[in-house]
Structure 1
Amino acid sequence: MRFSYPLNFLLLIPAAGIFYLIIILKRGKTGFPLSSIPVKPEKLNYLMFFKYLFLFLVLFLLIIGSTSPMVPISKVPIEEKGHAFVFCLDISSTMKALDFAPQDRFFKAKETIKEFIDNRKMNFYGLVIFAKYSLPIVPLTFDNNFLIQKLESIQIGDIEDGTAIGNAIINAVELLKYFKGESKNIILITDGINNDGYIDPIFAVQVAKNYGMKVYPIAIGSDSPVNFPFVDSKGLSYTKKIKISVDIALLRQIAQIGGDGKVYTATNSREFDSIFKEIEKQNPIELNIKSYITYKSIDHLFYVLSVLTFIIFLFLELFSIEVEY
């Protein structure tokens, strides 16, 4: 935590002095109870002490707030070092398959991407989605929170159905080609067959390779029949097992040309998580990156607490009047 106006802490000295003087002056003062009511100075003194203690806390919180306290929220690099990753995420309708029940493929892919980003905050990230065509949603950025927000907002159906793998890879290349860090990586997550788009996936991955990029193709989902959600004519939901084909041969070519020669297949949560851990091992985190820390002011929290504390003081004040009289 840091403070914009640390000299305001000096105001705590007179505030503490005033509190001390009030306690000294009020010591022994018990009020004027009726003759039929016994005087209990100890209880009144304790009540008086806590009452003025809360008043002091009000001043304390106001003074802390006036220093404009700030907490760190993120590190922002001032140089392009480390690793860059662009996620190419398939959002075609087949991603609704329930291989990862109760989650579907799409939900599991988004959760795994978010976990990967959380584990590697000092990297640059971008996001491309694709179905019938592809769209670059987030350009290469260090703002992880922004990318995660955009990722969470994406839904199946945002793009007309289809699978344009080549277009997605080319969009990723455009986001990565000017990056000057340690490595440029494309993580392709799909569960289908390339059947749309005007760019051949093999041509696209060759372009990526020419720019020094590595492509990690991930086939998500089982090749066996899986539960898939449907809605009948009456609007009722039901599931039915169907077989969804994925072009492993194409993904293998992509891996051999522009990747590490391996096609990654994720048929369950454990396999999906282990794939991303393997990608992490191949791209160890770069620690020596010059960066600055961004801060967020939290002075409003202290002002809100001071108001709540003052309300407690008022209740104690009313209670002390009732006891004394």
Structure 2
Amino acid sequence: MLEFAWPWLFVLLPLPWLLRWWLPASDSREAALKVAFLPELAALAGRHAGIGLPGWKQQLPYAAIWLLLLTAAARPLWVGEPAPQPTSGRDLLLAVDVSGSMEYPDMEWEGEQISRLELVQRLLGDFIEGRHGDRVGLILFGSQAYLQSPLTFDRQTVRAWLDEALIGIAGGNTAIGDAIGLAVKRLRDRPADSRVLVLVTDGANNGGEIDPLVAARIAARQGVKIHTIGIGAPADAADPAMPFGFSLGVELDEATLREVAALTGGRYFRAGTRQELAAVGAVLDELEPAAQPPEQARYAYPLHPWPLGLALVGSGWLVVASLWPKRLTRRRRRVAP
């Protein structure tokens, strides 16, 4: 089915003729000879004399080019039949801690020491890619919580936003409660059995306005299941002299993270390896998808290059045609006896 993205542009169709009538005639400031009987001569020759518009035959090529240009500008689209989009009904928000302590390089990846945020980006990046049919969103939190990406089927974009996350972009503290509150706000209007939050942090709540346990109880009433992940190497393997005054064994509030998960029917994980984070995916795969209205999408194929190309070809032909008779006439005059 043919559709136009901007059909209102066709109201400009009479614009050249209106400008021709409204604008004053140009003054060449050259001497001119006025012939009083010119209309009579034109009538005898079967032609029209005057300053009006040329005949319709002369205007037809220009009108066709103008119509083609307007058609291209209106962006014609060929819209196909609606195609159903597979959805599981699962709505998954990821809340990732980007506070200052996430920069500490106490994690290992393929024999290389990397920061905690880098580990989260690499592990959760693959995790996001595997959420086929799920709506995935991203929250970044530090001293405050921000919705970096709303719930969407575009997993590649969500992963890109996660990969581009920077340490300290949301402040240096850890507002776990605010992150949970923002997630509840975004998930409460979704189907009841599909609301899932995966919260990743390496510290304790020391910022924000909402206590994590209070936020967890609100989430439980709204039917939001929270899986919490404590990021960081084991306490006995960590260097006790950590920047920002953090010590993993003291600062990671595992008790609160466990209780947040328990209040909402989720689970707590300690993520230091790929296998531990894969356990989160296994739990999410066990969730029953909620029934949602089927979504349909129409594929639209742009057609504007065709009228635009025809307009360019027609313009080139008019230029050549306007120059050719003059050259031919000059040559005939030169060879005339």
| 2:222 partner letter | Y
Task: Please state if 1:91 is matched with 2:98.
Answer: yes
The Cα shift of 1:142 comes to 2.1
Aligned to 2:165: 154
Task: Please state if 1:125 is matched with 2:136.
Answer: yes
Identity of aligned residues (%): 26
The answer on whether the counterparts of 2:96 and 2:199 sit within 8 Å (CA) in structure 1 is yes
Sort the Cα spacing of 1:230 and 1:251 in 2 relative to 1 into closer, same or farther, 3 A. Answer: closer
Aligned to 1:264: 269
Of 180, 184, 203, which residue of structure 2 is paired with 1:192?
A: 203
- Structure 1 residues 187-226: aligned runs within 5 Å: 187-224=198-235, 225-226=237-238
The Cα shift of 1:83 comes to 0.5
- Structure 1 residues 1-325: aligned runs within 5 Å: 76=85, 82-96=89-103, 97-101=105-109, 102=112, 103-180=114-191, 182-224=193-235, 225-226=237-238, 243=248, 245-260=251-266, 262-272=267-277, 274-283=278-287, 290-292=294-296
Please give the secondary structure, in 1, of the residue aligned with 2:220: helix
The Cα shift of 1:288 comes to 9.0
| 2:259 partner letter | Q
| 2:107 partner letter | D
CA distance in 2, matches of 1:75, 1:276: 29
Aligned to 2:9: none
The answer on whether the counterparts of 1:83 and 1:286 sit within 8 Å (CA) in structure 2 is yes
Please give the secondary structure, in 1, of the residue aligned with 2:166: coil
Range 117-126 or range 200-209, more displaced? 117-126
The Cα shift of 1:290 comes to 3.0
TM-score, normalised on structure 2?
A: 0.56
The Cα shift of 1:269 comes to 2.6
| 1:201 partner letter | P
Larger Rg: 2
The Cα shift of 1:263 comes to 1.8
Q: Deviations over 1:51-96 (max 9, x none)?
A: xxxxxxxxxxxxxxxxx9xxxxx9856xx86110111100112212
Please give the secondary structure, in 2, of the residue aligned with 1:194: coil
The Cα shift of 1:253 comes to 1.2
Mark the runs of 5 or more structure 2 residues left unpaired by the alignment.
1-76, 78-82, 304-337
Aligned to 1:311: none
CA distance in 1, matches of 2:302, 2:230: 44
CA distance in 1, matches of 2:206, 2:169: 18
The Cα shift of 1:121 comes to 2.0
CA distance in 1, matches of 2:137, 2:196: 10
Which gives a bigger RCO, structure 1 or 2 (Cα 8 Å, sep 6+)? 1
RMSD: 3.7
The Cα shift of 1:98 comes to 2.7
Sort the Cα spacing of 1:228 and 1:94 in 2 relative to 1 into closer, same or farther, 3 A. Answer: farther
Give the count of matched residue pairs: 220
Please give the secondary structure, in 2, of the residue aligned with 1:185: strand
CA distance in 2, matches of 1:163, 1:76: 38
Please give the secondary structure, in 2, of the residue aligned with 1:265: strand
The answer on whether the counterparts of 2:98 and 2:140 sit within 8 Å (CA) in structure 1 is yes
The Cα shift of 1:298 comes to 11
Mark the runs of 5 or more structure 1 residues left unpaired by the alignment.
1-67, 69-73, 232-240, 300-325
The Cα shift of 1:226 comes to 2.8
CA distance in 2, matches of 1:258, 1:215: 6
The answer on whether the counterparts of 2:177 and 2:215 sit within 8 Å (CA) in structure 1 is yes
CA distance in 2, matches of 1:149, 1:296: 26
| 1:176 partner letter | L
The answer on whether the counterparts of 2:88 and 2:289 sit within 8 Å (CA) in structure 1 is no
Please give the secondary structure, in 1, of the residue aligned with 2:168: coil
